[in-house]
Amino acid sequence: MKKQLFFQSAVISTILSYLLIFVGGLVRVSGSGMGCPDWPRCFGRWIPPTNVDQIPSHIDPTSFNIVLAWIEYGNRSLGVIVGFSIIILNVIAIYYFRKELKLLVSAILSLILVGANGGLGALVVSSVLDPFLVSLHMILALILVSVLSYACIESYKGMHLEKFKDMEINRTLSNSLIVFWILIVIEILLGTGIRTNLELVSIENPLLSKGELLNTLDSYKYLHSVLGFSLLFLSIYIYLKLRYNKLYIAQFLGAFTLGMIIVQIFLGEMMIFFELPQLTRLFHTWGSSWLVGVIIILYNCISNEYAQ
Amino acid sequence: MNTLNKKLIIAFFSVLILGLIGLFTIHKATQSRVSNLPVISKVPDFQLDNFDGTSFTEKKLDNKITVASFIFTQCDGACPIMSTNIGILQRRFSESDELQFISITTDPDYDSKSVLQDFSDKYSGKDNWFFLRGDIGDVITLAEDGFFLSADLLPVGHSTRLVLIDHDRNIRKYYEGTVDANILELQYDIVTLIDQG
């Protein structure tokens, strides 16, 4: 029952964090990052202004754009909600699971991460959206969902020991999941690097079209595609290995991983041929964040200490 | 219906709804960039002299996007920052012949044509940045009545704001010339105006 409570709280925190990554991506692709020039408030107000008269006289109203302000503030508000849901997770962990280190540590670590990422958000604004800091902000969010996914699967295992008891251990599969996760992280870092460089070039060359921007990048942008295609084969392997697994989640997530890789390749190529449409960028980034968490859950499903 | 199908349908609708929210938000944000540049007023007629001796009137603003500012060369606070920022914009848009810059001195007694020439050599990298001087009375009138900027206690009391003027001589927006965030905003707005033609 207590485990159930922790599990539910962890699942809610994880889903909210994924939603937060989506909204954060929306801020980036819609160019709303400076929608609120101050932090944590927005034009000196806890509720963003709805018209220019509400801006206090000591704050310059030049950059006021009601749409961008509310998009940016949506990201911050959802961040606060995620913060609260993780605080609840920590209360449950500290109250009931002081001796279960896996649960306790993952809860505390996620609290530290969400706090740190909020603070980093302030730096992002005060640096006027330094592309490196923006990317770091996203990477911290990916670490956060990884830790939360771990908390989900560990508490789930605690509740359903019987399901995991007769799992057969497959070292090769476990190891290939580790390799897959590392490669996904590298792939995300490469993608983030491309994004960062495009933004840096576009600030210096505001007149370049998106197609011309892509051409300014070195050939390392192809590394992202090459690695993407090779991940396809690894994910096919993982899918085939898990296809008849006794554990329903393992089957499902194996198929999910393969499907998501195919979707990601499709979205990625679309971005090249149609000059980076914003919505495609948003889902490309978001999909990759799902893979990070899903692989962590998969690994912990099939490589567990309860198995015989 | 089994649970897998149910989950797939939930997933389908979640992604669809998020996609629609994303599309709507991106559309609104793009739209807001244009609607956030309302026509504030038209720049009145004026006549000033460029540092190369030629005359510069309001007619030179037609069919160009202009970034206007007030400065004076002996100013050691805001003007060097403003001028450096304008120089950065000039470099970033150097491929465009639609954009031009004017800086009007608030200290015409000291800022002779040759002083302005030296100032231009220091900050400007292209011939689309005009350093203008004229009778101080005309400059004050232009600043206060034409651009709605404060012009008390000149030369030091000039406004540090940059003014964005469109192809039709309309004032569209003001930017604090010393704040990086506002310069970036100005850069995006210039692109919006260029895209609009």
The mean per-residue pLDDT over the stretch A6-27 comes to: 96
Contacts of A283 in chain B (CB under 8 A): 19, 22
Look up the CATH number of the domain holding residue B143. 3.40.30.10
Nearest CA in chain A to B33: A65
User: Does residue A273 surpass a pLDDT of 50?
Assistant: yes
Distance from CA of B25 to the nearest CA of A (A): 8
Same domain, A147 and A24: yes
User: Does residue A45 surpass a pLDDT of 60?
Assistant: yes
User: Does residue A60 surpass a pLDDT of 90?
Assistant: no
Q: Which of A14-18, A176-180, B135-139 has the lowest mean pLDDT?
A: B135-139
Concatenating the DSSP letter of every residue in B113-172 gives HHHHHHHHHHH-SSTTEEEEE--HHHHHHIIIIIS---B-STTTTB--EEEEE-TTSEEE
**pLDDT, mean over chain A:** 90
Same domain, B28 and B120: no
Domain span at residue A304 reads 164-308
Number of domains in chain B: 2
Same domain, B25 and B115: no
Contact assignment for A63 to B19 by CB distance below 8 Å: no
Going by pLDDT thresholds of 50, 70 and 90, the confidence category of residue A276 is: low
The mean per-residue pLDDT over the stretch A91-115 comes to: 94
Contacts of A34 in chain B (CB under 8 A): 181, 184-185
Task: Point out the domain boundary residue: A159, A175, A193.
Answer: A159
Contact assignment for B22 to A128 by CB distance below 8 Å: no
Same domain, A246 and A195: yes
Contact assignment for A30 to B23 by CB distance below 8 Å: no
Same domain, B50 and B31: no
Same domain, A148 and A169: no
**What are the structure tokens assigned to A162, written together?**
């019987």
Same domain, B118 and B27: no
Same domain, A146 and A183: no
The mean per-residue pLDDT over the stretch A220-243 comes to: 91
Model pTM score: 0.88
* Mean pLDDT split into 10-residue runs, chain B, 197 residues: 77 91 92 86 90 88 93 86 93 92 90 89 89 88 87 77 93 90 90 86
Contact assignment for A207 to B184 by CB distance below 8 Å: no
- CA-CA distance, A23 to A76, in Å (whole number)? 9
Same domain, A99 and A181: no
Same domain, A1 and A150: yes
Same domain, B135 and B167: yes
Task: Point out the domain boundary residue: A159, A185, A209.
Answer: A159
Same domain, B129 and B64: yes
A128 — contact with chain B (CB < 8 Å)? yes
Q: Which of A114-118, A195-199, A286-290, B88-92 has the lowest mean pLDDT?
A: A195-199
- CA-CA distance, A133 to A77, in Å (whole number)? 20
Same domain, B17 and B79: no
Task: Point out the domain boundary residue: A159, A185, A204.
Answer: A159
Residue A206 is nearest to which of B174, B179, B191, comparing CB atoms? B191
Same domain, B68 and B20: no
| Predicted-complex ipTM score | 0.84
Going by pLDDT thresholds of 50, 70 and 90, the confidence category of residue A306 is: low
Structure confidence at residue A305 (pLDDT): 60
- Quick one: CA torsion of A93, A99, A101, A102, rounded to 10 degrees? -60
The mean per-residue pLDDT over the stretch A230-257 comes to: 91
Distance from CA of A228 to the nearest CA of B (A): 22
Structure confidence at residue B180 (pLDDT): 85
Contacts of B26 in chain A (CB under 8 A): 26, 29-30, 278-279, 282
Same domain, B2 and B49: no
Domain span at residue B4 reads 1-35
Same domain, B29 and B54: no
Contact assignment for A63 to B93 by CB distance below 8 Å: no
Same domain, A212 and A197: yes
* CA atoms within 13 Å, Cβ hemisphere of A157: 25
Residue B25 is nearest to which of A30, A60, A203, comparing CB atoms? A30
Q: What is the number of other CB atoms lying within 10 angstroms of the CB of residue A30? A: 24
Same domain, B120 and B139: yes
Residue A37 is nearest to which of B30, B96, B181, comparing CB atoms? B181
Same domain, B78 and B140: yes
Contact assignment for B32 to A279 by CB distance below 8 Å: no
Distance from CA of A78 to the nearest CA of B (A): 15
DSSP letter for B58, please.
Answer: G
